[in-house]
Amino acid sequence: MRQPFLFYIPFIMNTLSKRLYTSSKSALPKAGKTIWWLLKIILPISLIVSFLQYWGVIVQIATLLSPAFSLIGLPGESAVVFITSIFVPLYGPIAIIATLPMDMREITILALMCLISHNLFVESAVQKKTGSSAILMFFLRLTASILGAFILNLILPDHIGSSRVIQKSIEFASTMSMLGNWITSAGYLSLKIALIITGLMMLQSILKEFNILSVISRIFSPLMRIMGLSNDSSFLWFVAQTLGLGYGSAVMIEEVESKSITPQSAILLNYHIAINHSLLEDTLLFVAIGVPAGWIIAPRFILAILLVWGVRGIMRLKQARKEEIKTVFQE
CA distances from 202 to 59, 146, 272 (A): 42, 38, 26
Q: How far apart are CA 189 and CA 45, in angstroms?
A: 13
Share of the chain above pLDDT 90, in %: 30
pLDDT at 10: 64
Q: Is residue 7 part of a domain?
A: no
Per DSSP, the residues of 143-177 read HHHHHHHHHHHHHS-SS-S---PPPPPP--SSHHH
- The domain containing residue 304 runs over which residues? 27-158+174-330
pLDDT of residue 329 exceeding 80, the answer is no
pLDDT at 324: 77
Q: Is residue 194 part of a domain?
A: yes
- Give the confidence band of 325 by pLDDT, cuts at 50, 70, 90: confident
Q: Is residue 230 part of a domain?
A: yes
Query: What is the pTM for the complete model shown?
Result: 0.80
pLDDT, tens only, 87-126: 888 888 888 887 778 889 999 999 999 999 999 999 999 9
pLDDT at 48: 85
3-state helix, strand, coil in the chain (%, to 5): 80, 0, 20
Q: How far apart are CA 187 and CA 61, in angstroms?
A: 29
Q: How far apart are CA 68 and CA 51, in angstroms?
A: 26
Q: Is residue 5 part of a domain?
A: no
Count up the domains in the chain and report the number.
Answer: 1
Dihedral, CA of residue 16, residue 18, residue 22 and residue 28, to nearest 10: 90
Q: How far apart are CA 228 and CA 191, in angstroms?
A: 37
- Give the confidence band of 168 by pLDDT, cuts at 50, 70, 90: low
pLDDT at 167: 56
Distance of CA 272 to the CA centre of its chain: 11
Which is more confidently placed, 1 or 141? Answer: 141
Q: Is residue 10 part of a domain?
A: no
Q: Nearest CA to 243 among 201, 206, 210?
A: 201
CA distances from 194 to 17, 191, 198, 250 (A): 24, 5, 6, 11
218, 261 in Cβ contact below 8 A? no
Q: Is residue 325 part of a domain?
A: yes
Reduced to 3 states (helix: H, G, I; strand: E, B; else coil), residue 76 is coil
Q: How far apart are CA 211 and CA 93, in angstroms?
A: 40
- What's the burial of 322, exposed, middle or buried (CB within 10 Å: 0-12/13-18/19+)? exposed
Residues contacting 28, CB < 8 A, separation 6+: 198, 201, 202
Q: How far apart are CA 153 and CA 209, in angstroms?
A: 48
Exposure of 142 in the CB half-sphere (CA atoms within 13 A): 12
Q: How far apart are CA 157 and CA 106, in angstroms?
A: 11
- Among 165-169, 222-226, 247-251, 281-285, top mean pLDDT goes to 222-226
Dihedral, CA of residue 90, residue 286, residue 154 and residue 274, to nearest 10: 40
Q: Is residue 8 part of a domain?
A: no
Sign for the CA dihedral angle at 176, 180, 183, 189 comes to negative
pLDDT, tens only, 15-41: 677 777 777 777 788 788 878 887 888
Q: How far apart are CA 271 and CA 327, in angstroms?
A: 31
pLDDT at 133: 94
Q: Is residue 289 part of a domain?
A: yes
